[in-house]
A and B are shown apart, each in its own frame.
Chain A
Amino acid sequence: MLLKSLHVSRSEFEKGTGWQIKPEGACKGDTCIPLKDNPGEQVDIEQMAEDMNLPLVAETEYGIWALGPDSIGGRTLSTAEAPNLTLPDVDGNLFELSSLKGKKIVVYAWAPY
Protein backbone atom coordinates (compact mmCIF):
# COMPACT_ATOMS: atom_id res chain seq x y z
CA MET A 1 0.00 0.00 0.00
CA LEU A 2 1.53 3.30 -1.04
CA LEU A 3 1.25 6.13 1.48
CA LYS A 4 1.83 9.88 1.41
CA SER A 5 1.41 10.10 5.19
CA LEU A 6 2.00 7.89 8.22
CA HIS A 7 -1.53 8.64 9.45
CA VAL A 8 -4.48 7.57 7.34
CA SER A 9 -8.18 7.12 7.87
CA ARG A 10 -9.44 3.76 9.05
CA SER A 11 -11.36 3.17 5.81
CA GLU A 12 -8.32 4.04 3.70
CA PHE A 13 -6.27 1.54 5.70
CA GLU A 14 -8.93 -1.16 5.34
CA LYS A 15 -9.28 -0.60 1.59
CA GLY A 16 -5.53 -0.47 1.05
CA THR A 17 -4.60 -3.56 3.07
CA GLY A 18 -7.70 -5.77 2.95
CA TRP A 19 -7.64 -5.98 6.77
CA GLN A 20 -10.72 -4.91 8.75
CA ILE A 21 -10.31 -3.20 12.13
CA LYS A 22 -12.63 -4.76 14.71
CA PRO A 23 -12.75 -4.81 18.53
CA GLU A 24 -10.69 -8.04 18.41
CA GLY A 25 -7.99 -6.32 16.36
CA ALA A 26 -7.10 -6.35 12.66
CA CYS A 27 -8.99 -9.19 10.97
CA LYS A 28 -8.85 -10.97 7.63
CA GLY A 29 -10.65 -14.26 6.97
CA ASP A 30 -10.52 -16.21 10.23
CA THR A 31 -7.38 -14.45 11.50
CA CYS A 32 -7.41 -11.53 13.92
CA ILE A 33 -4.24 -9.80 15.09
CA PRO A 34 -4.59 -8.02 18.43
CA LEU A 35 -3.60 -4.34 18.30
CA LYS A 36 -1.75 -2.43 21.02
CA ASP A 37 -4.31 0.38 20.91
CA ASN A 38 -7.37 -0.07 18.78
CA PRO A 39 -7.38 2.92 16.46
CA GLY A 40 -10.36 5.18 16.14
CA GLU A 41 -10.86 6.98 12.87
CA GLN A 42 -7.13 7.65 12.35
CA VAL A 43 -4.63 4.85 11.94
CA ASP A 44 -0.98 5.23 13.01
CA ILE A 45 0.82 3.33 10.24
CA GLU A 46 4.04 2.77 12.18
CA GLN A 47 2.14 1.32 15.14
CA MET A 48 0.07 -0.90 12.84
CA ALA A 49 3.20 -2.11 11.05
CA GLU A 50 4.70 -3.08 14.41
CA ASP A 51 1.53 -4.79 15.71
CA MET A 52 0.87 -6.63 12.45
CA ASN A 53 4.52 -7.34 11.58
CA LEU A 54 4.21 -5.52 8.26
CA PRO A 55 7.28 -4.18 6.45
CA LEU A 56 7.48 -0.43 5.86
CA VAL A 57 9.79 1.12 3.25
CA ALA A 58 10.40 4.86 3.40
CA GLU A 59 11.64 7.48 0.97
CA THR A 60 11.19 10.32 3.42
CA GLU A 61 12.82 12.88 1.10
CA TYR A 62 9.88 12.30 -1.25
CA GLY A 63 7.34 11.90 1.52
CA ILE A 64 6.30 8.41 0.44
CA TRP A 65 6.12 5.07 2.19
CA ALA A 66 5.24 1.59 0.99
CA LEU A 67 3.52 -0.67 3.53
CA GLY A 68 4.13 -4.27 2.46
CA PRO A 69 1.76 -7.25 2.65
CA ASP A 70 1.36 -9.56 5.64
CA SER A 71 3.21 -12.87 5.89
CA ILE A 72 0.92 -14.91 8.14
CA GLY A 73 1.78 -18.58 8.35
CA GLY A 74 4.68 -18.16 5.95
CA ARG A 75 2.40 -18.11 2.90
CA THR A 76 0.89 -15.51 0.59
CA LEU A 77 -2.61 -16.62 1.55
CA SER A 78 -3.83 -16.90 5.13
CA THR A 79 -7.40 -17.40 3.95
CA ALA A 80 -8.96 -18.81 0.79
CA GLU A 81 -11.51 -15.98 0.81
CA ALA A 82 -10.73 -13.95 -2.30
CA PRO A 83 -9.81 -10.32 -1.63
CA ASN A 84 -11.95 -7.66 -3.30
CA LEU A 85 -9.45 -6.90 -6.08
CA THR A 86 -10.14 -3.33 -7.21
CA LEU A 87 -8.31 -2.02 -10.26
CA PRO A 88 -8.97 0.41 -13.11
CA ASP A 89 -9.77 -0.66 -16.66
CA VAL A 90 -7.88 0.79 -19.63
CA ASP A 91 -10.04 3.96 -19.46
CA GLY A 92 -9.42 4.45 -15.75
CA ASN A 93 -12.82 3.23 -14.52
CA LEU A 94 -12.49 1.28 -11.27
CA PHE A 95 -13.71 -2.32 -11.30
CA GLU A 96 -14.32 -4.44 -8.18
CA LEU A 97 -14.00 -8.22 -8.31
CA SER A 98 -16.89 -8.52 -5.81
CA SER A 99 -19.25 -7.34 -8.58
CA LEU A 100 -18.84 -10.81 -10.13
CA LYS A 101 -20.04 -12.72 -7.04
CA GLY A 102 -22.17 -15.65 -8.16
CA LYS A 103 -19.93 -16.44 -11.14
CA LYS A 104 -16.96 -18.74 -11.54
CA ILE A 105 -14.01 -16.45 -12.19
CA VAL A 106 -10.55 -16.90 -13.65
CA VAL A 107 -8.33 -13.90 -12.89
CA TYR A 108 -5.58 -14.00 -15.51
CA ALA A 109 -2.34 -12.04 -15.20
CA TRP A 110 -0.45 -11.01 -18.34
CA ALA A 111 2.08 -8.33 -19.34
CA PRO A 112 2.96 -6.36 -22.50
CA TYR A 113 6.71 -7.13 -22.23
Chain B
Amino acid sequence: MWQALREEFHAEGFELVTVGLDTLGAQACRPFIEAANPSHPSLIDQHHVMADLFGIVNIPEAVWINEEGMIVRPAEAAPPPPMDGAAPTLNPPAELPQHMMDIMGEAVKIQSDPAAYHHALKDWVEKGANSEYALDPETVIARSEPRDKDKALGHAHFEMASHLETEGQHDLAIKHFREAHRLVPESWTFRRQAWSLERVGDGPFARFWQGPSPDKDWPYEGDWLTDIRREGPENYYSTWKG
Protein backbone atom coordinates (compact mmCIF):
# COMPACT_ATOMS: atom_id res chain seq x y z
CA MET B 1 0.00 0.00 0.00
CA TRP B 2 2.80 2.41 0.89
CA GLN B 3 4.79 0.91 -1.97
CA ALA B 4 2.06 1.97 -4.46
CA LEU B 5 2.04 5.45 -2.95
CA ARG B 6 5.83 5.60 -3.28
CA GLU B 7 5.64 4.63 -6.96
CA GLU B 8 3.04 7.31 -7.59
CA PHE B 9 5.00 10.10 -5.90
CA HIS B 10 8.55 9.06 -6.76
CA ALA B 11 8.59 10.91 -10.10
CA GLU B 12 7.73 14.09 -8.16
CA GLY B 13 10.94 13.87 -6.11
CA PHE B 14 9.57 11.81 -3.21
CA GLU B 15 11.24 8.89 -1.49
CA LEU B 16 9.99 6.53 1.19
CA VAL B 17 12.45 5.09 3.71
CA THR B 18 11.01 2.28 5.82
CA VAL B 19 12.67 1.36 9.10
CA GLY B 20 11.99 -1.89 10.94
CA LEU B 21 12.37 -1.45 14.71
CA ASP B 22 13.34 -4.85 16.08
CA THR B 23 16.04 -6.05 18.45
CA LEU B 24 15.97 -9.31 16.46
CA GLY B 25 17.03 -7.31 13.42
CA ALA B 26 17.33 -8.38 9.79
CA GLN B 27 16.46 -12.01 10.45
CA ALA B 28 13.04 -11.01 11.88
CA CYS B 29 12.36 -8.23 9.37
CA ARG B 30 13.44 -10.11 6.26
CA PRO B 31 10.21 -12.08 5.57
CA PHE B 32 8.15 -8.89 5.73
CA ILE B 33 10.62 -6.93 3.58
CA GLU B 34 10.84 -9.68 0.97
CA ALA B 35 7.04 -9.90 0.81
CA ALA B 36 6.87 -6.15 0.20
CA ASN B 37 9.72 -6.26 -2.34
CA PRO B 38 10.43 -2.53 -1.96
CA SER B 39 12.09 -0.31 -4.51
CA HIS B 40 12.91 2.20 -1.75
CA PRO B 41 15.49 2.02 1.06
CA SER B 42 14.35 -0.42 3.74
CA LEU B 43 16.43 -0.25 6.91
CA ILE B 44 16.86 -2.20 10.14
CA ASP B 45 16.89 -0.40 13.50
CA GLN B 46 17.77 -2.97 16.15
CA HIS B 47 18.17 -0.67 19.09
CA HIS B 48 15.47 1.89 18.23
CA VAL B 49 17.62 4.87 17.30
CA MET B 50 14.40 6.12 15.70
CA ALA B 51 13.09 6.62 19.24
CA ASP B 52 16.23 8.55 20.29
CA LEU B 53 16.45 10.68 17.14
CA PHE B 54 12.79 11.31 16.33
CA GLY B 55 10.75 10.37 19.40
CA ILE B 56 8.93 7.42 17.83
CA VAL B 57 6.64 5.94 20.51
CA ASN B 58 4.42 3.62 18.46
CA ILE B 59 4.29 1.97 15.07
CA PRO B 60 3.45 2.78 12.42
CA GLU B 61 4.68 6.38 12.77
CA ALA B 62 6.41 8.60 10.25
CA VAL B 63 8.54 11.74 9.98
CA TRP B 64 8.48 14.09 6.98
CA ILE B 65 11.75 15.68 5.83
CA ASN B 66 11.97 18.26 3.05
CA GLU B 67 14.48 18.69 0.22
CA GLU B 68 16.71 20.88 2.39
CA GLY B 69 16.96 18.22 5.08
CA MET B 70 14.55 19.97 7.48
CA ILE B 71 11.94 17.99 9.40
CA VAL B 72 8.52 19.43 8.44
CA ARG B 73 6.42 16.98 10.45
CA PRO B 74 7.80 15.30 13.58
CA ALA B 75 7.00 11.67 14.46
CA GLU B 76 3.26 10.98 14.48
CA ALA B 77 0.89 8.10 13.72
CA ALA B 78 1.01 7.19 10.01
CA PRO B 79 -1.98 5.06 9.01
CA PRO B 80 -1.84 2.99 5.79
CA PRO B 81 -3.20 4.73 2.69
CA PRO B 82 -6.98 4.36 2.36
CA MET B 83 -7.81 1.84 -0.33
CA ASP B 84 -10.25 2.43 -3.15
CA GLY B 85 -13.33 0.26 -2.80
CA ALA B 86 -14.05 -2.09 0.07
CA ALA B 87 -11.21 -3.10 2.34
CA PRO B 88 -10.57 -6.85 2.32
CA THR B 89 -12.17 -8.40 5.36
CA LEU B 90 -9.88 -10.08 7.77
CA ASN B 91 -10.82 -13.72 8.05
CA PRO B 92 -9.06 -15.08 11.08
CA PRO B 93 -8.30 -18.79 11.17
CA ALA B 94 -11.16 -20.80 12.63
CA GLU B 95 -9.30 -21.75 15.78
CA LEU B 96 -7.74 -18.62 17.20
CA PRO B 97 -6.64 -18.79 20.82
CA GLN B 98 -8.90 -16.73 23.09
CA HIS B 99 -6.02 -14.38 23.90
CA MET B 100 -5.58 -13.50 20.21
CA MET B 101 -9.37 -13.06 19.86
CA ASP B 102 -9.21 -10.65 22.81
CA ILE B 103 -6.33 -8.75 21.17
CA MET B 104 -8.27 -8.43 17.91
CA GLY B 105 -11.29 -7.28 19.90
CA GLU B 106 -9.31 -4.32 21.20
CA ALA B 107 -7.41 -3.72 17.96
CA VAL B 108 -10.62 -3.09 16.00
CA LYS B 109 -11.39 -0.19 18.35
CA ILE B 110 -8.09 1.56 17.62
CA GLN B 111 -8.72 4.87 15.84
CA SER B 112 -6.87 6.68 13.09
CA ASP B 113 -7.66 9.06 10.24
CA PRO B 114 -6.06 7.69 7.07
CA ALA B 115 -8.02 10.02 4.78
CA ALA B 116 -6.79 13.16 6.55
CA TYR B 117 -3.20 11.94 6.77
CA HIS B 118 -2.95 10.96 3.12
CA HIS B 119 -4.72 14.07 1.91
CA ALA B 120 -2.04 16.04 3.76
CA LEU B 121 0.79 13.91 2.36
CA LYS B 122 -0.44 14.37 -1.22
CA ASP B 123 -0.80 18.10 -0.58
CA TRP B 124 2.79 18.34 0.63
CA VAL B 125 4.18 16.27 -2.25
CA GLU B 126 2.42 18.60 -4.69
CA LYS B 127 2.94 21.98 -2.99
CA GLY B 128 6.09 21.54 -0.89
CA ALA B 129 6.75 24.46 1.44
CA ASN B 130 3.45 26.06 0.35
CA SER B 131 1.51 23.20 1.86
CA GLU B 132 -0.22 24.09 5.12
CA TYR B 133 0.81 20.63 6.32
CA ALA B 134 4.55 21.44 6.13
CA LEU B 135 5.24 22.87 9.58
CA ASP B 136 7.75 25.56 10.50
CA PRO B 137 10.77 24.59 12.65
CA GLU B 138 9.37 26.03 15.90
CA THR B 139 6.15 24.03 15.50
CA VAL B 140 8.09 20.89 14.60
CA ILE B 141 10.17 21.21 17.77
CA ALA B 142 7.16 22.04 19.95
CA ARG B 143 5.18 19.06 18.64
CA SER B 144 8.03 16.58 19.18
CA GLU B 145 7.72 14.16 22.10
CA PRO B 146 8.42 15.60 25.55
CA ARG B 147 11.77 14.46 26.92
CA ASP B 148 13.36 15.30 30.26
CA LYS B 149 16.50 13.72 31.76
CA ASP B 150 14.47 10.85 33.25
CA LYS B 151 13.02 9.94 29.86
CA ALA B 152 16.47 10.26 28.28
CA LEU B 153 17.69 7.83 30.96
CA GLY B 154 14.85 5.50 29.96
CA HIS B 155 16.13 5.61 26.37
CA ALA B 156 19.62 4.68 27.59
CA HIS B 157 18.17 1.73 29.52
CA PHE B 158 16.28 0.62 26.42
CA GLU B 159 19.40 0.70 24.29
CA MET B 160 21.28 -1.24 26.96
CA ALA B 161 18.44 -3.79 27.16
CA SER B 162 18.24 -4.27 23.40
CA HIS B 163 21.99 -4.74 23.14
CA LEU B 164 22.11 -7.18 26.05
CA GLU B 165 19.32 -9.20 24.41
CA THR B 166 21.41 -9.57 21.24
CA GLU B 167 24.28 -10.81 23.43
CA GLY B 168 22.05 -13.52 24.91
CA GLN B 169 21.72 -11.80 28.29
CA HIS B 170 17.93 -12.11 28.41
CA ASP B 171 17.39 -11.71 32.17
CA LEU B 172 19.67 -8.70 32.37
CA ALA B 173 17.92 -7.25 29.32
CA ILE B 174 14.59 -7.58 31.15
CA LYS B 175 15.97 -5.53 34.06
CA HIS B 176 16.80 -2.66 31.68
CA PHE B 177 13.60 -2.99 29.63
CA ARG B 178 11.64 -2.64 32.89
CA GLU B 179 13.50 0.59 33.70
CA ALA B 180 12.79 1.91 30.19
CA HIS B 181 9.09 1.14 30.66
CA ARG B 182 9.02 2.85 34.04
CA LEU B 183 10.76 5.99 32.80
CA VAL B 184 9.04 6.29 29.40
CA PRO B 185 5.51 4.98 30.10
CA GLU B 186 4.11 6.59 26.94
CA SER B 187 6.30 4.48 24.65
CA TRP B 188 4.38 1.59 23.14
CA THR B 189 7.45 0.61 21.13
CA PHE B 190 9.59 0.20 24.27
CA ARG B 191 6.89 -1.99 25.81
CA ARG B 192 5.94 -4.01 22.75
CA GLN B 193 9.54 -4.76 21.78
CA ALA B 194 10.21 -6.23 25.23
CA TRP B 195 6.91 -8.12 25.35
CA SER B 196 7.49 -9.56 21.85
CA LEU B 197 10.71 -11.18 23.05
CA GLU B 198 8.68 -13.32 25.50
CA ARG B 199 7.58 -15.65 22.71
CA VAL B 200 4.56 -17.84 23.35
CA GLY B 201 4.82 -21.06 21.39
CA ASP B 202 6.39 -21.34 17.95
CA GLY B 203 3.36 -20.51 15.84
CA PRO B 204 2.46 -17.31 13.97
CA PHE B 205 1.35 -15.60 17.22
CA ALA B 206 4.57 -16.23 19.12
CA ARG B 207 5.71 -12.60 19.02
CA PHE B 208 2.23 -11.07 18.85
CA TRP B 209 0.99 -12.63 22.11
CA GLN B 210 2.74 -9.90 24.13
CA GLY B 211 1.30 -10.98 27.43
CA PRO B 212 1.27 -13.66 30.11
CA SER B 213 0.82 -17.32 29.33
CA PRO B 214 0.22 -20.23 31.67
CA ASP B 215 3.60 -21.88 31.24
CA LYS B 216 5.87 -19.17 32.60
CA ASP B 217 6.15 -16.12 34.87
CA TRP B 218 5.47 -12.80 33.19
CA PRO B 219 8.43 -10.47 33.90
CA TYR B 220 6.75 -7.15 33.12
CA GLU B 221 4.36 -4.80 34.93
CA GLY B 222 2.00 -4.54 31.97
CA ASP B 223 1.08 -6.38 28.80
CA TRP B 224 -0.66 -5.41 25.57
CA LEU B 225 -4.23 -6.30 26.54
CA THR B 226 -4.05 -4.85 30.05
CA ASP B 227 -2.34 -1.66 28.92
CA ILE B 228 -4.61 -0.94 25.96
CA ARG B 229 -7.73 -1.54 28.06
CA ARG B 230 -6.41 0.80 30.75
CA GLU B 231 -5.37 3.54 28.32
CA GLY B 232 -8.25 3.05 25.91
CA PRO B 233 -7.80 1.81 22.31
CA GLU B 234 -9.04 5.19 21.08
CA ASN B 235 -5.88 6.70 22.64
CA TYR B 236 -3.46 4.17 21.16
CA TYR B 237 -2.31 6.47 18.35
CA SER B 238 -1.67 10.21 18.41
CA THR B 239 -4.58 12.18 16.98
CA TRP B 240 -4.11 13.85 13.61
CA LYS B 241 -3.56 17.56 14.28
CA GLY B 242 -3.37 18.94 10.77
| A contact set with B: CB distance below 8 Å | 1-2, 18, 53-57, 59, 62, 64, 66-71, 73-83, 85, 87-92, 95, 97-98, 100-113
**Nearest neighbor of A100 in chain B, beta-carbon distance:** B15
Contact present for B160 and A66 (CB under 8 Å): yes
Contact present for B69 and A98 (CB under 8 Å): yes
Q: Measured between C-beta atoms, what is the minimum distance from B89 to chain A in Å?
A: 22
Contact present for B62 and A109 (CB under 8 Å): yes
B55 / chain A contacts, CB cutoff of 8 Å: 76-77
Q: B10-34 interface mask toward A, CB cutoff 8 Å, 1 = contact, 0 = none?
A: 0011111111111010101111110
How many A-B pairs have beta carbons closer than 8 Å: the answer is: 231
B163 / chain A contacts, CB cutoff of 8 Å: 2, 64, 66
Q: Measured between C-beta atoms, what is the minimum distance from B29 to chain A in Å?
A: 6
Q: Measured between C-beta atoms, what is the minimum distance from A27 to chain B in Å?
A: 16
B146 / chain A contacts, CB cutoff of 8 Å: 74-76
CA distance A101 to B196 in the complex (A): 35
Stretch in B95-103, B151-159, B215-223 with 4+ CB within 8 Å of A: B151-159
A70 / chain B contacts, CB cutoff of 8 Å: 152
Q: Measured between C-beta atoms, what is the minimum distance from B144 to chain A in Å?
A: 4
The number of chain B residues touching the other chain, given as a range, is 35 or more
A1 / chain B contacts, CB cutoff of 8 Å: 159
Q: A111-B189, A113-B193 are in contact. Are A53 and B149 (CB under 8 A)?
A: yes
Q: Tell me, yes or no, whether B141 is within 8 Å of chain A by CB.
A: yes
Name the contact of A111 in the complex, choosing from B17, B22, B64, B160 (C-beta under 8 A): B22
Apart from A75-B147, A109-B45, what are 8 other A-B pairs with CB-CB below 8 Å? Answer: A62-B172, A68-B152, A69-B155, A69-B156, A77-B54, A104-B128, A111-B189, A112-B32
Contact present for B43 and A106 (CB under 8 Å): no
Contact present for A69 and B152 (CB under 8 Å): yes
**Nearest neighbor of A70 in chain B, beta-carbon distance:** B152
CA distance A98 to B41 in the complex (A): 12
A66 / chain B contacts, CB cutoff of 8 Å: 156-157, 159-160, 163
Q: Tell me, yes or no, whether B74 is within 8 Å of chain A by CB.
A: yes
B68 / chain A contacts, CB cutoff of 8 Å: 101
B160 / chain A contacts, CB cutoff of 8 Å: 2, 57, 59, 64, 66
B62 / chain A contacts, CB cutoff of 8 Å: 106-109
CA distance A56 to B52 in the complex (A): 14
CA distance A68 to B183 in the complex (A): 13
Contact present for A88 and B147 (CB under 8 Å): no
B13 / chain A contacts, CB cutoff of 8 Å: 102-104
A75 / chain B contacts, CB cutoff of 8 Å: 141-142, 144-147
Q: Can you identify 26 A-B contacts, CB atoms within 8 angstroms?
A: A2-B160, A55-B153, A55-B155, A59-B160, A64-B163, A66-B157, A68-B52, A68-B154, A71-B147, A74-B146, A76-B74, A77-B144, A80-B70, A81-B69, A83-B53, A89-B41, A91-B26, A100-B15, A101-B67, A104-B66, A106-B16, A109-B45, A110-B60, A111-B21, A111-B22, A112-B28
**Nearest neighbor of A1 in chain B, beta-carbon distance:** B159
Most buried by A among B43, B125, B137, B196: B43
